[in-house]
């Protein structure tokens, strides 16, 4: 089914909850996906890993993915869906557009000139076909080129929080790896430090092991 004749300039992207703030000016000359979803919808939540793979695969070719959470849920509901992992793209709240939608998730694909090429489910084969069409003339921004050349960033298995060691001292860090009796902390200054689980408080040891089993 042909997409409605609309332009990207008719959309409002909303405010970023995860990732970088994006303006319409930032998207000039790039292929763009705006995908409406909700953390309160099982199908909507399932679309986030799909969009993450899509962004990772095509970022270097000039694709920008924006996931617009539509039910204005509290951030902790979104955190639960993401599982403490960086989705690799911008998630916003308050996005609006001229096309009515009846269910979530619902994605819109725009070419580098801002023409709407696709309106529908991100799992449909037509979504991939529209992406291919949009990427033919898309050019990555300088920021995207730098990201494509940079080594992959390890995502957080457990987001940054305050831990307590066996001496009762606080340690603020994210956990980026759990292996055997060791974890790897990412400190607030970016340093990655191996740490024995047994050096944490009993409560934090239990939390680590429960997380590892999930």
Q: Are residues 168 and 143 in the same domain?
A: no
C-alpha 13/C-alpha 173 separation (Å) is 32
Please check whether residue 2 lies inside any domain of the structure: no
Give a yes or no: residue 128 inside a domain: yes
Q: Same structural domain for residues 38 and 142?
A: yes
Q: Which long-range contacts (CB under 8 A, 24 or more apart) does 151-154 make?
A: 153/86, 154/186, 154/192
Give the per-residue pLDDT at 126. Answer: 93
**1 falls within a domain:** no
Specify whether 167 is located in the same domain as 126.
no
Tally Cβ neighbours within 10 Å of residue 157: 20
| Run means of pLDDT, 10 residues per run, the chain, 214 residues | 78 87 86 90 83 89 91 75 80 89 91 94 92 86 50 72 90 91 85 88 92 81
Q: Tell me: do 93 and 127 sit in the same domain.
A: yes
Q: Is this structure's pTM higher than 0.75?
A: no
Residue-level pLDDT at 2: 53
- Residue 200's domain comprises 158-213
Token pair 């740490």: residue: 195
pLDDT digits (tens, 9 = 90+) for 21-66: 888 888 888 999 999 988 877 787 888 889 999 998 888 889 999 9
How far is 206 from 212, CA to CA, in rounded Å?
10
What was the pLDDT predicted at 12? 92
Give the domain CATH number at 59. 3.40.30.10
> Are residues 190 and 84 located together in one domain of the fold?
no
Q: Look at the block and give the residue holding tokens 């095509």.
A: 58
- Find the length of the chain: 214
The last residue of a domain, from among 132, 149, 166: 149
């Amino acid at each position: 089914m042909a997409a409605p004749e609309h332009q990207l300039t008719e959309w409002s992207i909303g405010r970023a909850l995860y990732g970088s703030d994006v303006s319409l000016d930032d998207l000039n000359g790039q292929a763009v996906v705006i995908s409406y979803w909700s953390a309160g919808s099982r199908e909507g939540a399932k679309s986030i890993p799909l969009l993450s793979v899509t962004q990772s695969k095509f970022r270097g070719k000039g694709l920008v993915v924006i996931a617009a959470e539509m039910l204005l849920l509290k951030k902790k509901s979104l955190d639960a869906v993401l599982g403490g992992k960086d989705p690799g793209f911008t998630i916003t709240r308050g996005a609006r557009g001229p096309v009515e939608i009846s269910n979530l998730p619902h994605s819109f694909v725009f070419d580098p000139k801002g023409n709407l090429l696709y309106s529908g489910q991100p799992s449909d084969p037509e979504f991939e076909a529209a992406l291919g069409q949009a990427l033919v003339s898309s050019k990555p921004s300088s920021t995207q080129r730098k990201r494509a050349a940079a080594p992959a960033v390890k995502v957080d298995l457990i987001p940054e929080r305050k831990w307590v060691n066996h001496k009762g001292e606080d340690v603020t860090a994210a956990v980026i790896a759990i292996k055997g009796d060791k974890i790897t902390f990412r400190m607030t200054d970016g340093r990655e430090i191996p740490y024995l689980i047994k050096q944490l408080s009993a409560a934090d040891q239990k939390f680590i092991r429960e997380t590892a089993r999930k």
